[in-house]
């Protein structure tokens, strides 16, 4: 792997950029590994990266049934923020945000992290009270968040319609200035490149079909479409398919998998300077560096692994977008797609050991896992390497659904997020 720096760039510019080489290796699986990560999305690749870099684990494989970064990592709307209500969530998402701020430097790969601010709109008295409660809770936890009046919101985001006659008038907004967006594919590629350079085998088109266990119960490896592979520890980082994989080890999960959709418009010149979200009318929007408006829609109401959602979900979101930003009412939408998200009962993730020795799970990110990628990967690597959770993810256990210590962000925000 060659570093991206001014000297190498200049050298390659003179020779037609023919010397960069492959960014990561494409190896065949070995007979066994110390740690196998199932799922080569951002969280899985990041876990392998931090295991190798911070914990000195040498013999790691990441198995991916499709292609690297082809699941929800490549399908999300790339919004990054940490303004969650509860202490546990604030700790986890702010850990991620701290890592995001230096991620391009750390990976020597431009993840195009742009702190353009995330503004969450309030449309009724309850929204206002809830947003202000979030702001106070956030500030006590060292998470930046501030209240904007409708006019201040309009100044920050000029396309916003703050007319009192709109269907759901804007009554104010909570702004997290440190929030923003990043280039989602680059996150997977950057982690893959560095992990591969440290010796991690990333094996694509290799679906896990079974989890092998010794008679005493602990994990001994996995069955795959490329044959059996041994492992002392297995980490499942498979988003929507977590229930399917955990079932292979006999563990039933408190998860449900739903299609979540997003869409982009035709590309236009820069018009939208920040990320704006509205939970009440369900509209998330930002503009990519290519110029497309990136719009997040909702989940379908039923379980599905189809990776497609219903048209009426998209229409519902676009109704809200046009009401809030009337200038977009003649924009053409270019593409829509869906991903399968795994949702927990309390809408908080599970980053934990499991009842099976040597098996770890990182799941339940629901509709908002991208923002947590570096933090999630970092503490999950710790959990695997030390066989105990990091203090940051200590609360995100599987047992919380048995002992009642929920981290109930669902009740806090009234929507999945």
Separation between Cα atoms, residue 281 and residue 18, nearest integer Å: 49
Binding mask 209-248 for another protein (x = CB under 8 A): --------------------------------x-xx----
CB contact at 8 A, 175 and 139: no
* Residue number with CB closer to another protein (75 or 390): 75
Containing 126, the helix (H) or strand (E) segment is helix 125-140
Which residues in the 374-403 window bind another protein by CB under 8 A?
401-403
Q: Which stretch binds another protein (CB under 8 A): 123-131, 151-159, 251-259, 381-389?
A: 251-259
Are 319 and 56 in contact by the 8 Å Cβ rule? The answer is: no
Among 18, 125, 301, 330, binds another protein (CB under 8 A): 301
Binding flag, residue 166, another protein (CB under 8 A): no
Beta strands in 225-281 (DSSP E): 229-236, 256-265, 275-278
- Between strands 219-224 and 208-213, the pairing is antiparallel
**Could you say whether residue 256 binds another protein (CB under 8 A)?**
yes
Instruction: Give least dist CB 303 to another protein, A.
Output: 5
Considering only residues 336 to 355 of the shown chain, the ones binding another protein according to CB under 8 A are 342, 345
Phi-psi region of 240 (alpha: psi -120 to 50; beta: other; left: phi over 0): alpha
Q: Does 255 bind another protein (CB under 8 A)?
A: yes
Of these, 129, 289, 305, 335, which contacts another protein (CB under 8 A)? 305
In whole angstroms, the minimum distance from the beta carbon of 85 to another protein comes to 21
Closest CB 52 distance from another protein, rounded Å: 31
Q: How many residues does the chain have?
A: 417
Residue with tokens 């001014």: 6
Least CB distance from residue 298 to another protein, whole Å?
A: 13
Cα–Cα distance measured from residue 96 to residue 89, given in angstroms and rounded to the nearest whole number: 11
Strand pairing class (229-236; 32-38): parallel
The whole-angstrom separation of Cα 108 and Cα 5 is 8
Q: Where along the sequence are the contacts to another protein (CB under 8 A)?
A: 241, 243-244, 252-257, 301-306, 310-312, 342, 345, 401-404
């Amino acid at each position: 792997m060659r570093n991206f720096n001014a000297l190498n760039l200049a050298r390659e510019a003179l020779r037609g950029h023919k010397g960069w080489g492959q960014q990561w290796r494409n190896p065949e699986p070995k007979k066994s590994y110390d740690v196998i990560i199932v799922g080569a999305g951002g969280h899985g690749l990041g876990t392998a990266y931090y295991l190798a870099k911070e914990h000195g684990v040498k013999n790691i494989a990441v198995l991916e049934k499709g292609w690297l970064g082809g699941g929800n990592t490549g399908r999300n709307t790339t919004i990054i923020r940490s303004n969650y209500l509860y202490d546990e969530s604030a700790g986890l998402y702010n850990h991620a945000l701290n890592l995001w701020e230096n991620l391009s430097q750390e990976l020597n790969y431009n993840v195009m992290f742009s702190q353009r601010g995330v503004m969450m709109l309030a449309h009724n008295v309850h929204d206002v009270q809830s947003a202000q409660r979030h702001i106070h809770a956030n500030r006590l936890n060292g998470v930046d968040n501030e209240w904007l009046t409708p006019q201040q919101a309009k100044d920050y985001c000029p396309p916003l319609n703050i007319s009192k006659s709109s269907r759901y008038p804007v009554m104010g907004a909570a702004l997290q200035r440190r929030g923003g967006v990043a280039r989602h594919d680059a996150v997977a590629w950057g982690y893959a490149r560095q992990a591969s350079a440290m010796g991690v085998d990333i094996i694509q088109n290799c679906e896990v079909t079974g989890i092998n266990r010794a008679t005493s119960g602990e994990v001994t490896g996995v069955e795959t479409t490329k044959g059996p592979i041994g492992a002392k520890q297995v980490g499942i980082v498979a988003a929507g398919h977590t229930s399917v994989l955990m079932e292979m080890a006999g563990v039933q999960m408190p998860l449900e998998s739903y299609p979540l959709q997003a869409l982009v418009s035709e590309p236009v010149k820069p018009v939208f300077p920040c990320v704006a979200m509205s939970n009440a009318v369900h509209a998330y929007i930002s503009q990519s560096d290519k110029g497309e408006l990136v719009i997040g829609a909702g989940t379908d109401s039923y379980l599905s692994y189809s990776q497609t959602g219903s048209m009426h979900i998209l229409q519902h979101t676009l109704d809200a977008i046009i009401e809030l930003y009337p200038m977009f009412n003649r924009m053409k939408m270019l593409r829509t797609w869906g991903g399968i998200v795994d949702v927990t009962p309390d809408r908080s993730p599970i980053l934990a050991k499991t009842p099976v020795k040597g098996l770890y799970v990182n799941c339940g990110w629901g509709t908002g896992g991208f923002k947590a990628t570096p933090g999630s990967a970092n503490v999950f690597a710790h959990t695997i390497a030390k066989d105990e959770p990091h203090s940051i993810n200590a609360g995100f256990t599987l047992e919380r659904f048995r002992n009642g210590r929920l981290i109930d962000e669902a009740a806090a925000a009234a929507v999945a997020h």
